[in-house]
Structure 1
């Protein structure tokens, strides 16, 4: 954990509890393990003080359930008291693997179902928690962040609704448009990125990368991801390029305007390694098309780094593209559900975010500045330095 010394003399806001919905169980258990490890190793001279009651525990997970009736209606039941706790609620609205029975049919849970369960557990606390913090890595309805016609603003309304329910802090990752916080500007909203974890995963898997402007180009697949590409390229000392998506705005296919063509804006990429960075892979069609064009332009290697891998159309297109040499690696985080099949693919690499998320929770529980954990520039440069010196990077 970065800057552990900052925690030594900082009082916790209240006893920490981690409420993990079923949708994020795997990630939540790993985060809990890191929190337990952090606090058992922490050299805090005041742990016997009453203000530190419940500070060092063997488990921070809060016990509750969200059962459903056969009609499909649900409820939240708390199995222990939440009074006076600093509650962190973790939910993955993209986990479609969970099911429930309704009228004799098996229904897969949608983002709407997960969001409703989140509201249920908040309502069940009945205002007794000292503070409520929501961790929603994939921002619910994040792509519906603005109006382009007669349509709903679901993301803005959801954030406003959670704020009105008493949520003090909202934590998300790589929001499609972080300006959504303007819906409730006086509420806490923190948006984190995975640049360090991408770097770490990539350098672990590739042993012959040369990280400079002559050998690496960071590509934004569209204009929306350009800020990510510019930051990442500047930190690792690489060049930047961008694709412009030409869309057919006269038609709608699958809820969006289809892409007619990708136009590349940037320097010559022949013989260079390419890192494509974006917030998500949805169907993956545009990402594969981008990679195909880069290989046609004689790129040496193509590495795809996205925070969320949804793969809404399955993995067959990626399997075929990999066999054709269209790309070399796909790196996503474990912040959202990934099909078990993906984890077995030779082209897949995971960027583990559980340790970072545990750090965020620990610092927020002490009411310390999030700048301490949100700026990874120094850590990225340090890991690159170790990589260039052929040193071990696994513990960095």
Structure 2
């Protein structure tokens, strides 16, 4: 399928997709793999997808960022912001417009739609699982996502491709490129999980770096629900002495940022030297006031997130922010899948991370 590659980008991911296309063209000697597609809307808010070129017998890769809330559409004379539901509906429209003619369809959805609600506890919907089954029904062969909140969601599609990619390599490279004075040993560095859900990510990184871990446990008030969840009463720390250590806090997303700031306060109270916040998805849903104030107070040193979801222009201007670009990695994933070669090197980058650490410590 190497000569049948086609990329379709929804507007939510169009700028990143253009750069991915340029990288692939450079690597493979092609002119352009992007196919023009649009989702125009009627004044009622209803929409359709129009694909401008044939996708017959092509290996199609469709990009969507369900978190891009910067886009709007007009309905009944007023403008509505695009929600994750709107983006997902447009994705289904693109798949439907392919008319079943594509040889293979892969959806690249960096932030897994509804992935934060990953299990049923009471009588409630499980939208992420429903989404995955819908995509299977629509003929999607593979789904590529990054740092899924719960990777066990892949069990919904036991016979379809589900690639859950970790950006750990890119975070390591970005941190090493920016800071030349990190000492990678248990006496100077520790990885921290801000909650129990992030423990697996932290254990993975700490084992490669050869350092210890700590974890915060979110104590919640289960007597009532606020904004769809039980409110956090306190963060309790489980771990050793961090006095004078550089600390790297890892999580899959920064939503409002309240938990991260509280974690930083507690780490500073325990004597942490520098605090680096690494998060795959920087949503910053309540703006940047909390982070600006925390940075001024010296609660953290740097925030690193990827460009896998929409980045607010104000975020890119922050002195404390470091952008981790994933465009080349996405291009490598597409190139690998299109050539039907193994994904293990990309989906499990342990060896490459070890090499980066060795190179850094030897320099």
Q: Report the TM-score when normalising by structure 2.
A: 0.98
Partners of 1:98 and 1:30 lie apart in 2 by 20
Partner of 1:199: 172
Partner of 1:260: 233
Q: In structure 2, which of residues 132, 142, 153 is the aligned counterpart of residue 169 of structure 1?
A: 142
Partners of 1:153 and 1:14 lie apart in 2 by 39
Partner of 2:21: 32
State the 1:14 CA deviation. Answer: 5.7
Partners of 1:29 and 1:291 lie apart in 2 by 37
Q: In structure 1, which of residues 40, 53, 70 is the aligned counterpart of residue 43 of structure 2?
A: 70
State the 1:206 CA deviation. Answer: 1.4
Partner of 1:131: 104
5 Å-filtered alignment, 1:73-222, equals 73-222=46-195
State the 1:343 CA deviation. Answer: 0.3
Cα deviations by residue, 1:319-338 (Å, 9 ceiling, x for unpaired): 11111111110000100011
Pair 155,13 (structure 1): closer, same or farther in 2 beyond 3 Å:
same
The alignment partner of 1:167 has SS state of: coil
The alignment partner of 2:141 has SS state of: strand
Aligned length: 363
Partners of 1:372 and 1:338 lie apart in 2 by 28
Contact 2:163 2:347 in 1 (8 A): no
Q: Report the TM-score when normalising by structure 1.
A: 0.90
Partner of 2:316: 343
Partners of 1:17 and 1:170 lie apart in 2 by 16
Cα deviations by residue, 1:71-113 (Å, 9 ceiling, x for unpaired): 1111000100010100000100000000111101111100000
Which is worse superposed, 375-384 or 163-172?
Answer: 375-384
The answer on 1:306 being equivalent to 2:261 is no
Cα deviations by residue, 1:134-163 (Å, 9 ceiling, x for unpaired): 010000000111112121010000000001
The answer on 1:17 being equivalent to 2:6 is yes
Partners of 2:210 and 2:319 lie apart in 1 by 28
5 Å-filtered alignment, 1:253-332, equals 253-332=226-305
Partner of 2:224: 251
The gaps in structure 2 that reach 5 residues or longer are none
Q: In structure 2, which of residues 326, 330, 346 is the aligned counterpart of residue 373 of structure 1?
A: 346
Partners of 2:196 and 2:252 lie apart in 1 by 12
Contact 1:220 1:226 in 2 (8 A): yes
Which is worse superposed, 18-27 or 270-279?
Answer: 18-27
The alignment partner of 2:322 has SS state of: strand
The answer on 1:334 being equivalent to 2:307 is yes
The gaps in structure 1 that reach 5 residues or longer are 1-11, 41-56, 391-396
State the 1:213 CA deviation. Answer: 1.2
Q: Which portions of structure 1, spanning 4 or more consecutive aligned residues, are displaced by more than 4 angstroms? A: none
Cα deviations by residue, 1:162-199 (Å, 9 ceiling, x for unpaired): 01100000110000111112222111111011101111
State the 1:132 CA deviation. Answer: 0.5
State the 1:368 CA deviation. Answer: 1.2
Contact 1:283 1:313 in 2 (8 A): yes
Cα deviations by residue, 1:291-314 (Å, 9 ceiling, x for unpaired): 110011010000000100011111
Contact 1:14 1:365 in 2 (8 A): no
The answer on 1:239 being equivalent to 2:212 is yes
State the 1:16 CA deviation. Answer: 0.5
Cα deviations by residue, 1:268-294 (Å, 9 ceiling, x for unpaired): 000000000010001110011001100
Partner of 1:223: 196
State the 1:13 CA deviation. Answer: 5.8
Contact 1:14 1:130 in 2 (8 A): no
Partners of 1:203 and 1:176 lie apart in 2 by 26
Partners of 2:358 and 2:326 lie apart in 1 by 22
State the 1:66 CA deviation. Answer: 0.8
